[in-house]
Amino acid sequence: MDPIRNPYAPGAGQRPPELAGRDAELDAFDVVLERVARGRPERSIVLTGLRGVGKTVLLNALRSAAVRARWGTGKLEARPDQSLRRPLSAALHTAVRELGRPGDSDAVLGTIKAFALRAAPPKANLRDRWNPGIDVPATTGRADSGDIEIDLVELLTDVGGLAADAGSGVAIFIDEMQDLEPEDISALCAACHEISQSGLPLIVVGAGLPHLPAVLSASKSYSERLFRYTRIDRLDRAAADLALSVPASEEGAGFDDDALAALYELTAGYPYFVQAYGKVAWDVAPRSPISADDVRVGAPEAEAELAVGFFGSRYERATPAEREYLRAMADVAAEGDGDGDVEAVPTAAVAKLLDRTPQSLSPARDALLKKGLIYSGERGKIAFTVPHFGRYLRGSA
Ligand SMILES: Nc1ncnc2c1ncn2[C@@H]1O[C@H](COP(=O)(O)OP(=O)(O)O)[C@@H](O)[C@H]1O
Ligand SMILES: [Mg+2]
């Protein structure tokens, strides 16, 4: 069928033509916004899940909901080894602008600038060149102590105060939250704790890999009470069918029941795969409705695209020793239940398969954890962050 009208959107952070199966999360967020705006106590929200389940696009949808509620919003993506100061100040700057209280906001903008300028650059000359892009002078004596925890509490208190005066709220969205530096995580927890006690209308909405709750609670023991954890998972059959059928019907096309069943078998309901297989099936189908045969004919092409765009791009980031470790993980997982590449495997079993000591493998394992290719949700076990990664490794890499 006409590739120009193909509605599907495989790709990290690509807005899907139909955001299927997330009504519960969207509705719950509307309640949070309303409660916080009324000064009711609410926990900040953390979305967790494997790569490709749709955390980023859900985060963006929640941000749109906050904007519709006339909140000030800002977003940042955490990166390993990067301090929170600059990206957070940029996000808060945006949020304050969105609140739309020019004049009243100068003092707060001055605090944001002071917070940003305190970022300790490794080389002093970088500091002079970097500019937070805020045209008011930096204030002194607020959020500029250099102690991230003190500064963050002061900063978020000021921003929350401005939002309260505006009769609105501020929501800060943090993607890939597991990549924040440990001291930034800890300061952020402390600041959220403080803000929630003072009833200010400011919330943090985070998204990250499945071990993010463990990262947060290792940092501050009270984090379990601070955040509401929501696991974002693959779509059930009904939601996956909607993700495929609704966009098609908007283009006057559709799928056979058999085609939908075949697609669910191939994608297991993982949103990234739903978009990838849906897109290829559309292109190879000679006419609507798309049939199970079309799905089967297109499948190798979808697999090839995933091998490059979804799996390969991650696999390439691993060194030879790390790749060996990944393949051993896949082999151990396959011994389990054949298709267990979402299941965690014991690190000891990986070491045994490679005939090495666990200690000698820890550099490779730690590097893979840091690169976000694997995660450890429970002690002594590791799992792939990418669904079907084990199958990919055993099939082709
Ligand atoms: N609820 C959904 N319904 C249909 N497609 C979705 C849904 N959520 C995500 N997608 C699609 O899945 C892919 C991955 O989404 P993304 O948000 O980048 O995942 P993550 O951030 O969890 O890695 C994108 O192509 C997106 O369009
Ligand atoms: Mg993402």
For residues 42, 44, 46, 47, the Cα torsion angle rounded to the nearest 10 degrees is 60
Helix (H, G, I), strand (E, B) or coil at 381: strand
Ligand 1 atom nearest to 270, measured from its CA: 12
Spell out the residues 6+ positions from residue 27 whose beta carbon is closer than 8 angstroms to its own: none
If one residue of 19, 47, 55, 57 were mutated to test the ligand 1 pocket, choosing by the most ligand atoms within 8 A of its CB, it would be: 57
Res 129: pLDDT:
54
CA of 20 to the centre of ligand 2 (A): 17
Locate 322 and state its tokens.
């790390």
Q: Which residue has the tokens 């076990």?
A: 381
Cis omega (within 30 of 0) on the bond before 289?
Answer: yes
- What is the rounded CA–CA span in Å between residue 364 and residue 357? 12
Ligand nearest to the CA of 58: 1
Q: Which ligand is nearest to the CA of 234?
A: 1
**CATH architecture of residue range(s) 23-231:** 3-Layer(aba) Sandwich (3.40)
Ligand 1 centroid–CA 354 distance in Å is 35
CA of 22 to the centre of ligand 1 (A): 11
- Please state, in angstroms and rounded to a whole number, the distance separating the CA atoms of residues 193 and 67: 24
C-alpha 200/C-alpha 172 separation (Å) is 14
- Domain positions in the chain: 3-12+235-315, 23-231, 320-396
- Tokens 């937070």 map to which residue? 132
Residues 275, 10 contacting (CB under 8 angstroms): yes
Q: Are strands 44-48 and 202-208 parallel, antiparallel or unpaired?
A: parallel
What separation in Å is there between the alpha carbon of 273 and the centre of ligand 1?
Answer: 9
pLDDT at residue 124, as a whole number: 53
Q: Which atom of ligand 1 has the smallest separation from the CA of 10?
A: 25
Q: Fill in the amino acid letter for 375.
A: Y
Instruction: Report pLDDT digits (tens) over 29-86.
Output: 999 999 998 888 888 899 999 999 999 999 999 999 999 999 999 999 999 989 999 9
The CATH number of domain 3-12+235-315, selected from 2.60.40, 1.20.120, 1.10.8, 1.10.357: 1.10.8
Which ligand ends up closest to the CA of 55?
1
Task: State the pTM of this model.
Answer: 0.94
Distance from the alpha carbon of residue 54 to the mean position of ligand 1, in angstroms: 3
Could you identify the atom of ligand 1 that is nearest to the CA of residue 271?
12
- C-alpha 328 – ligand 2 centre gap (Å): 26
CATH number of 320-396: 1.10.10.10
- pLDDT digit string (tens) for 277-294? 999 999 999 999 999 999
Kindly provide the residue ranges of all beta strands, DSSP E only, lying in 12-169, ordered along the sequence. 44-48, 72-77
Ligand 1: residues whose CB is within 6 Å? 9-14, 16, 19-22, 49, 51-57, 243, 271-272, 274-275
The number of the ligand 1 atom at minimal distance from the alpha carbon of 207 is 21
pLDDT of residue 228: 93
Give me ligand 2 centre to Cα 311, in Å: 14
Q: What is the model's pLDDT at position 339?
A: 56
Query: Probe ligand 1: pick from 233, 275, 384, 386, max atoms within 8 Å of CB?
Result: 275
Tell me the ligand closest to 387's alpha carbon. 1
Q: Identify the nearest ligand to the CA of 245 by its number.
A: 1
**How far is the centre of ligand 1, averaged over its atoms, from the C-alpha of 253 (Å)?**
22
Give me the residues of the chain with pLDDT under 70, please.
120-130, 337-342, 397
